[in-house]
Structure 1
């Protein structure tokens, strides 16, 4: 076993890594991904959502109740994500990675729109999902969103249950970092904020004279990332799911 591991690691480290540009979100069965030094590069908006407090929920309820909570939560997130062109990958414990492939402002804004609909489903008093889940526990979560190039590569060994995909890039790392700072709201990077369509950036309100004026729904905060403080934006707004 030792010799086999030594040989494989040397093969990985000492050889070049081949990257192919793609315009879709790959899955585990993509024929272009092997256990060799190959990866696929895509440009996407990355939405990371993390459900928190699962340990406390587990300690307060039996395992089947916790399983029902997780199934309801994951079903809600996946359905909303896919309705707006998102592909869910990397179910890590209580967290999910959603990729919205593309370079347009519409694609990026769709990711933010999805986040706002997820928030409505999980927090609004009008949401039946929230009411059902609160039978056991309220959901505490954070959503972070960033944009950029991502390299996907297959890791593990041959065998259906011994392999997975790894998603590498600041688009992933920063979305996770921002999501960790957020509590039941949505956080986005400066790049995402600068490229939002008005539909997820402003609301229209009346001024003192009855005129329609645009109000920015985002506020600023700072996060330490890569050794320096960076500005990110957050909002408490949501979009109703009808």
Structure 2
């Protein structure tokens, strides 16, 4: 069968086939979902951690240096995510996606963002400066977090497929990463309203999160922070 007819058949099947849906309490993986219209619905918090201005990094530095920055950032972010109860669901170039579930998912994700900020400024940057004392590059990053119901399904073709996360949290968390790295941690109001007190307030009593209006996103209320949380 020619590829055109093959795709016409498969697309028609996707739109016509009934969904097999079930609720989930844990983060699904590729072994728990079929390629057909099979889905798991979960309540989850999504975190994206992203290197800022990575195109400029790649365009202005040697490939080995950019690769080392990528690897250092992604290694640290991934370990911090896992240490705080998150599940890593995807890597995409210079960023990592993670999902948190459970009663403390929002506080855990928010602390993860603050810890990644500490790690970038207090661990990665000093190590970079020690190895390359004449290098002027400064690692900047953003972390975006949102929470919502999500539908998880497998997409692609046999032998080349991955999970897709359908729902607001996946989209908004990624969009938050496009905001200024002057405040590297960004969360939605839905996340902020569910934070435990110690994930909101610094040891000196200051609120670590500043409310802002996200004009391009329908004037949604979001919160930003330039605080960090030591490891």
Considering the TM-score relative to the shorter chain, is it more than 0.5?
yes
Structure 1 residues not aligned, in runs of 5+: 206-213
Which whole-Å deviations, capped at 9, do the CAs of 1:192-219 have from their partners, x for residues lacking one?
A: 11111111111243xxxxxxxx332211
Asked if 1:26 is matched to 2:24, the reply is: no
Matches within 5 A, 1:187-202: 187-202=186-201
Aligned to 2:126: 131
Aligned to 1:208: none
TM-score, with structure 2 as normaliser = 0.90
TM-score, with structure 1 as normaliser = 0.86
Q: Evaluate the alpha carbon distance shift between residue 225 and residue 147 of structure 1 in structure 2; reply closer, same or farther with a 3 A threshold.
A: farther
Q: Evaluate the alpha carbon distance shift between residue 85 and residue 204 of structure 1 in structure 2; reply closer, same or farther with a 3 A threshold.
A: closer
The 2-side partners of 1:224 and 1:98 are apart by 26
Asked if 1:85 is matched to 2:78, the reply is: no
Q: Which of 5, 9, 12 in structure 1 is aligned with 2:11?
A: 9
Secondary structure (helix, strand or coil) at the match of 1:73 reads helix
Where is the strand percentage greater, Structure 1 or Structure 2? 1
Asked if 1:186 is matched to 2:185, the reply is: yes
> Is the contact between residue 178 and residue 223 of structure 1 (CA under 8 Å) also seen in structure 2?
no
Which whole-Å deviations, capped at 9, do the CAs of 1:149-205 have from their partners, x for residues lacking one?
A: 11111111111xx21111110111111222221415211111111111111111243
Aligned to 1:146: 146
The 2-side partners of 1:233 and 1:65 are apart by 33
Secondary structure (helix, strand or coil) at the match of 1:181 reads coil
The count of corresponding residues between Structure 1 and Structure 2 is 223
> Is the contact between residue 203 and residue 216 of structure 1 (CA under 8 Å) also seen in structure 2?
yes
Structure 2 residues not aligned, in runs of 5+: none
